[in-house]
C-alpha cells in the first residue's frame, strides 16, 4: 500500500507509525513464516525486485558463503498443491541441467512448512522491464535479442521449452549481454492459468485458448513479439500480435516477423535456431541436437504415470467403458454401411 493511500485511511499517529515501518522494514509485506523458513535455509532477503504471477523475486544473501543470489518465493497456491509442486520440481530439475552462459544457473530449491522457493545465481544487469530504455543503439539491442535467441535454442536442444518469456526473466547488462531464466514454468498448470500466470505480453495464441499444443514454435512467437517490443515499442508489438504490421513496413525483417507471429504454430519457424538464421544472424558452430534425449520429457512421463496410478478406480472404469462403447458404435456403423453397399 502506498504512503498516499495510508494517509487517506490512517490517523496522523497511525500514519507516522506506518511510515516508520515502511522505512525500517521494507520487506514487511513478506510473511514472517516465509522469512523464517528462508532464514533457516541460510537466505536473508535484501531487496524485492518484482512480484509476478508465479510469486515474488528477491535479491538475497546466502549467509554461509556471503554470496548474493536471486530467490523466488512461489505463490501460496503453488506451494500448497502437492501435484503442482511435483511438476514444478520436474521443471526446475530440467532447467538445472542446462549449462550455457546465457542461461541463469539454478542453485537450490525447496518446500518447507507451506512455503516453496527457488534460488539461482544473481544475474548481472537488471530485468528487461527496468533496462529496456537504457539499451542504447540498435546494435546493442540486436546483440541482446541474439543472445536471448541463443539461450532459448540451447535449452530447446536439451528438451526444455521456455513458454514464458517475459520482462522479469530476461536480464540485460548495459552492453547488451543477456541472460534468461524461469524455463518451463508454464507447464506447472495444465489448465493455464489456474496455478500461476506469467507475463502474458508475449504469450502465443495456443497458450491463451489451447487450440493447439505448445512446442518450440511457441517460443518463436514469443521471440517475435519480444523483437517487436524492443525495436518498435509496446503499443506496436501489441498491434503486431493483432495482425497489423504497419510500423514495420520499412524493416527488412518484416517477412520474418510476419511468419514468426503467424497465429498457427505449424506456419511459424520451428525453432529459435531457424528464426535466428532467417533474421540473418551468424549461426556460428552448430551444437549437436540432443532434443531426442529429453530429460524433461522422461520426468513428465513418469509424473503422468504416477498420477494415473493415483486416479480413482471408478474413473478408470468409466473411461474404459466410454471407449469400449465408442468402439462398438464404430464397428456397428461400419457393418451397417457394408450391408447397405451389398
3-class SS string, 167-197? CCCEEECCCCCEEECCCCHHHHCCCCCCCCC
Mean pLDDT of the 26-40 span? 63
Whether 112 and 158 have beta carbons less than 8 Å apart is answered as no
> Is the backbone of residue 119 left (phi > 0), alpha (psi -120 to 50) or beta?
beta
User: Residues spanned by CATH 3.30.200.20 within the chain?
Assistant: 29-103+106-119
By C-alpha distance, which of 79, 69, 81, 50 is closest to 198?
50
For residues 119 and 311, which has the higher predicted lDDT (pLDDT)? Answer: 119
For residues 334 and 247, which has the higher predicted lDDT (pLDDT)? Answer: 334
pLDDT score for 99: 87
- pTM comes to 0.71
Q: What band does 312 get if pLDDT is binned at 50, 70 and 90? A: low
> Is the backbone of residue 125 left (phi > 0), alpha (psi -120 to 50) or beta?
left
Task: State yes or no: pLDDT of 8 exceeds 70.
Answer: no
Architecture of domain 29-103+106-119: 2-Layer Sandwich (3.30)
Whether 248 and 189 have beta carbons less than 8 Å apart is answered as no
pLDDT score for 13: 42
Q: Among 66-70, 142-146, 156-160, 286-290, name the one with the lowest average pLDDT.
A: 286-290
Whether 219 and 272 have beta carbons less than 8 Å apart is answered as yes
By C-alpha distance, which of 240, 165, 174 is closest to 200?
165
Task: State yes or no: pLDDT of 96 exceeds 80.
Answer: yes
Across the chain, mean pLDDT equals 76
Mean pLDDT of the 154-159 span? 89
Task: State yes or no: pLDDT of 269 exceeds 90.
Answer: yes
pLDDT score for 200: 72
Q: What band does 36 get if pLDDT is binned at 50, 70 and 90? A: confident
CA 146 to chain centre: 19
pLDDT score for 259: 94
Locate 18 and state its grid cell: 506506518
Q: Among 54-58, 100-104, 137-141, 315-319, name the one with the lowest average pLDDT.
A: 315-319
Sign of CA dihedral 75, 88, 260, 178: positive
pLDDT score for 155: 92
Number of neighbouring beta carbons within 10 Å of residue 129: 17
The set of residues, in sequence order, having a beta carbon less than 8 Å from that of 59 and lying 6+ positions away, is 45, 46, 47, 49, 68, 70, 71, 122
By C-alpha distance, which of 270, 292, 305 is closest to 90?
305
pLDDT score for 87: 79
By C-alpha distance, which of 262, 272, 268, 236 is closest to 251?
236
First and final C-alpha spacing in the chain: 79
Whether 236 and 243 have beta carbons less than 8 Å apart is answered as no
Q: Among 92-101, 220-229, 309-318, name the one with the lowest average pLDDT.
A: 309-318
The set of residues, in sequence order, having a beta carbon less than 8 Å from that of 201 and lying 6+ positions away, is 166, 167, 225, 229, 234, 237, 238
pLDDT score for 236: 86
Mean pLDDT of the 98-109 span? 91
Task: State yes or no: pLDDT of 328 exceeds 70.
Answer: yes
pLDDT score for 217: 92
**Per residue in 106-133, pLDDT tens?**
999 988 877 889 999 999 888 888 876 6
Choosing among 3.90.330.10, 3.30.43.10, 1.20.1250.20, 1.10.510.10, the CATH entry for 125-296 is 1.10.510.10
**Per residue in 49-88, pLDDT tens?**
888 777 888 999 999 888 999 999 988 777 777 777 887 8
In the block, which residue shows the cell 532477503?
45
User: Residues spanned by CATH 1.10.510.10 within the chain?
Assistant: 125-296
Amino acid at each position: 500500500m502506498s504512503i498516499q493511500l495510508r494517509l487517506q485511511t490512517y490517523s496522523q499517529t497511525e500514519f507516522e507509525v506506518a511510515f516508520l515501518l515502511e522505512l525500517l522494514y521494507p520487506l514487511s509485506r513478506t510473511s514472517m513464516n516465509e522469512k523464517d523458513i528462508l532464514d533457516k535455509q541460510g537466505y536473508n532477503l535484501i531487496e524485492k525486485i518484482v512480484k509476478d504471477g508465479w510469486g515474488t523475486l528477491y535479491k538475497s544473501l546466502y549467509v554461509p558463503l556471503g554470496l548474493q543470489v536471486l530467490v523466488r518465493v512461489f505463490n501460496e497456491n503453488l506451494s500448497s498443491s502437492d501435484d503442482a509442486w511435483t511438476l514444478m520440481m520436474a521443471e526446475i530439475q530440467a532447467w538445472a541441467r542446462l549449462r550455457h552462459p546465457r542461461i541463469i544457473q539454478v542453485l537450490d530449491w525447496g518446500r518447507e512448512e507451506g512455503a516453496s522457493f527457488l534460488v539461482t545465481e544473481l544475474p548481472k544487469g537488471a530485468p528487461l522491464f527496468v533496462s529496456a530504455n537504457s539499451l542504447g543503439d540498435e546494435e546493442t539491442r540486436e546483440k541482446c535479442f541474439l543472445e536471448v535467441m541463443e539461450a532459448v535454442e540451447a535449452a530447446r536442444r536439451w528438451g526444455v521449452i521456455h513458454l514464458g518469456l517475459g520482462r522479469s526473466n530476461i536480464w540485460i547488462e548495459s552492453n547488451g549481454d543477456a541472460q534468461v531464466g524461469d524455463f518451463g514454468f508454464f507447464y506447472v498448470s495444465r489448465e493455464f492459468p489456474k496455478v500461476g500466470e506469467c507475463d502474458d505480453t508475449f504469450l502465443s495464441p495456443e497458450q491463451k485458448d489451447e487450440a493447439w499444443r505448445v512446442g518450440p514454435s511457441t517460443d518463436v512467437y514469443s521471440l517475435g513479439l519480444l523483437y517487436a517490443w524492443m525495436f518498435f515499442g509496446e503499443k506496436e508489438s501489441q498491434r503486431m500480435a493483432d495482425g497489423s504490421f504497419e510500423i514495420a513496413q520499412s524493416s527488412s525483417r518484416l517477412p520474418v516477423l510476419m511468419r514468426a507471429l503467424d497465429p498457427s504454430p505449424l506456419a511459424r519457424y520451428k525453432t529459435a535456431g531457424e528464426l535466428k538464421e532467417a533474421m540473418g544472424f551468424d549461426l556460428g558452430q552448430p551444437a549437436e541436437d540432443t532434443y531426442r534425449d529429453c530429460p524433461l520429457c522422461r520426468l513428465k512421463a513418469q509424473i503422468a504415470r504416477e498420477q494415473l496410478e493415483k486416479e480413482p478406480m471408478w474413473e478408470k472404469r468409466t473411461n474404459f467403458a466410454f471407449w469400449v462403447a465408442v468402439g462398438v458404435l464404430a464397428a456397428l456403423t461400419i457393418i451397417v454401411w457394408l450391408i447397405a453397399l451389398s
